[in-house]
Amino acid sequence: MSERSHQQTGRTAAHDSAFLRACRREPVPHTPVWFMRQAGRSLPEYRKVREGVPMLESCMRPDLVTEITLQPVRRHGVDAAIFFSDIVVPLKAIGVDLDIKPGVGPVVAEPVRTRADLERLRPLDPSDVPYVTEAVGMLTAELGATPLIGFAGAPFTLASYLIEGGPSRTYENTKAMMYGDPQLWADLVDRLADITAAFLRVQIEAGASAVQLFDSWAGALAPADYRRYVMPASTKVFQAVAGYGVPRIHFGVGTGELLGLMGEAGADVVGVDWRVPLDEAARRVGPGKALQGNLDPAVLFAPREAVEAKAREVLDAARGLEGHVFNLGHGVMPSMDPDALTRLVAYVHEQTAR
């Protein structure tokens, strides 16, 4: 099949899915559910296919990407698949020397700290990521009516890995550049916005039905700094993909004070972590946007009755929303019992069946 027909087949089949309807704030047959990081180490079938294959290599093999993306859909019956990749894949694809270290995360060999470092970040061309186009095409054919969510890292979160050289808790080098050399910072996040937008475009062109922009660590910023130093670049990303008409989701952790701005940046759906109840989040975001969230992932370690009671609280807080996509407030953890996740999907479906 040609790329264009994959794109049309995938999106046409998925158009009336509960997930896409909720993103568009239309009536749904049940509240749709998916989990951030639903593919991954909590699943024995994932650990099996990943045996001996480094993380980044697995992202570049369409057969593995397809299998791993489908695993949680088969097992849990979630309402959407999320493309198996990582936020640093487009950076690797333009030649940044980085690796994903087991138990650590992305590690960058030569952190970006100067204008000369920035100049090495070239634009992303679709031909840099042929394996993404191929895997999305395979997936939309396999998924049928189940939508595929494409994703990318937002400029701030990507910049934090590039500047720190790896995961950080304090973002000290990142903030040193942001406050100390605002022009270099602005040029860096603007360049990352173009790379991110290009990576999302590849996934949408190949057939993804929705996209999520992960600004996982934006919660480290005060609202005024978010607005000044980050929002213009994230807005640029959302504008670059607005024309496709696919729902755009915007998520970060600890972003209670930023929810309004994250919506304003151009999201159709605002992702909420577990710290702000959804009814309060809706007041902060304002009308015209759906919400996604927001069960505390750690709740999944409690007994079934407790999980269901906490999920019930989320559903109660979501009752008046225009559109609600049920999710965790952050990603699935590797030590979680996958059966608890399967039961949670069934519980939400059953409680919200209309």
The answer to whether 37 touches 332, Cβ cutoff 8 Å, is yes
The DSSP annotation for 98-134 comes to EEEETTTEEEESS---SHHHHHT-PPP-GGG-HHHHH
| 100: contact with ligand 1CP by CB under 6 A | yes
Four-CA torsion 324, 153, 67, 331, nearest 10 degrees? -50
Nearer to ligand 1CP, 86 or 194 (CB): 86
DSSP 295: E
Task: Tell whether residue 41 is among the known ligand binding residues.
Answer: yes
| 7: contact with ligand 1CP by CB under 6 A | no
Task: Tell whether residue 117 is among the known ligand binding residues.
Answer: no
Of all residues in the shown chain, the one whose CB is closest to ligand 1CP is 105
Catalytic (active site) residue 86: yes
Choose, by CB under 6 A, the member of 24, 37, 227, 228 that binds ligand 1CP: 37
Site for ligand 1CP in 194-223 (CB under 6 A): 214, 216
Task: Tell whether residue 40 is among the known ligand binding residues.
Answer: yes
CB of 314 to ligand 1CP, least distance (A): 19
| Cα-based angle 282, 284, 286 (whole degrees, multiple of 5) | 65
The answer to whether 241 touches 235, Cβ cutoff 8 Å, is no
Nearer to ligand 1CP, 10 or 297 (CB): 297
Catalytic (active site) residue 41: yes
Question: CB under 8 Å to 170, separation ≥6 — which residues?
Answer: none
Separation between Cα atoms, residue 102 and residue 58, nearest integer Å: 13
Catalytic residue among 46, 161, 226, 347: 161
Nearer to ligand 1CP, 41 or 228 (CB): 41
Nearer to ligand 1CP, 37 or 310 (CB): 37
CB of 164 to ligand 1CP, least distance (A): 9
Task: Tell whether residue 161 is among the known ligand binding residues.
Answer: yes
N- to C-terminal Cα distance for the chain? 37
Nearer to ligand 1CP, 39 or 267 (CB): 39
Choose, by CB under 6 A, the member of 19, 151, 229, 326 that binds ligand 1CP: 151
Separation between Cα atoms, residue 109 and residue 60, nearest integer Å: 20
Site for ligand 1CP in 163-182 (CB under 6 A): 167
Catalytic residue among 24, 41, 61, 228: 41
- Quickly tell me which residue has 């755009």 as its tokens: 248
Catalytic residue among 24, 61, 86, 187: 86
Separation between Cα atoms, residue 298 and residue 316, nearest integer Å: 19
Catalytic (active site) residue 50: yes
Task: Tell whether residue 330 is among the known ligand binding residues.
Answer: yes
**Three-state SS for 237?**
helix
Whether omega for the bond prior to residue 294 falls within 30 degrees of 0, making it cis, is yes
Nearer to ligand 1CP, 84 or 131 (CB): 84
312, two tokens: 């019930």
The type of residue at 320 is: G
Site for ligand 1CP in 46-85 (CB under 6 A): 55, 82, 84
Nearer to ligand 1CP, 7 or 69 (CB): 69
Task: Tell whether residue 239 is among the known ligand binding residues.
Answer: no
CB of 197 to ligand 1CP, least distance (A): 17
Catalytic (active site) residue 11: no
Per-residue b or e along 38-77, where b marks 16 or more CB atoms closer than 10 Å to that residue's CB: bbbebbebbeebbeeeebbebbbbbebbbbbbbbbbebbe
Catalytic residue among 24, 37, 227, 228: 37
DSSP 33: B
The separation between CA 244 and the C-alpha centre of its own chain, rounded to angstroms, equals 18
Site for ligand 1CP in 101-140 (CB under 6 A): 102, 105-106
- Residues of the binding site for substrate: 37-41, 86, 161, 216, 330
- Which residue numbers are catalytic? 37, 41, 50, 86, 161
Q: Which residues bind ligand 1CP (CB under 6 A)?
A: 36-41, 55, 82, 84, 86-87, 100, 102, 105-106, 151, 167, 214, 216, 331
